[in-house]
Amino acid sequence: MNYRLIAIRVLYYSLGFAALTGVTAVFVPTNSPFLGRLLGTAIATGISAGFMLLAVRGLENPKTRPLGTTIGIIICIVLPLIYFTIWLDAITSIRNSVIEHLALTAVIVFFCGIPLSLGAALITHKQLKRAGYFLLPCWSCLILLWTFDVWRGGIGTYNYIEAIAIPLAWCSPVAALLLLRWPKSVVPLILLTVSCVLWQWYGATVDHWNEYATPLAVIFILGWVPCSLAFWNLLTLRKQQYAIRKSELAATTIASLAIAFCFAYAWTNITGNESDILLRFAIACSILGGTSVLAVFITQVLRMSMYVAKSSSSLHAICPRCENKINLPQGKSRCPACNLQFKVLFESPNCSACAYDLTGTDKKLCPECGVPICATALQ
pLDDT, tens digit (0-9, with 9 covering 90-100), for 137-186: 888 988 888 888 888 776 655 666 766 777 777 777 777 777 776 656 66
pLDDT of residue 378: 41
pLDDT digits (tens, 9 = 90+) for 38-97: 777 777 877 887 888 888 888 878 888 888 889 888 988 998 898 888 877 666 556 677
Which residues, including other chains, have CB under 8 Å from residue 281's CB and lie 6 or more apart?
261
pLDDT of residue 47: 81
pLDDT of residue 218: 85
Separation CA 66–CA 58 (nearest Å): 8
Domain boundaries, the chain: 1-155, 308-378
Quick check: pTM over 0.85? no
Using CA atoms, how far residue 240 sits from 127, 180, 237, 243, in Å, is: 16, 16, 9, 5
Give burial (CB, 10 Å; 0-12/13-18/19+) of 26.
Answer: exposed
Ranges of the chain whose pLDDT falls below 50: 306-310, 375-379
pLDDT of residue 84: 85
pLDDT of residue 309: 45
pLDDT of residue 257: 92
Sign of CA dihedral 147, 149, 152, 154: negative
Q: Can you say how many angstroms the Cα of residue 375 is from the centroid of all Cα atoms in its chain?
A: 26
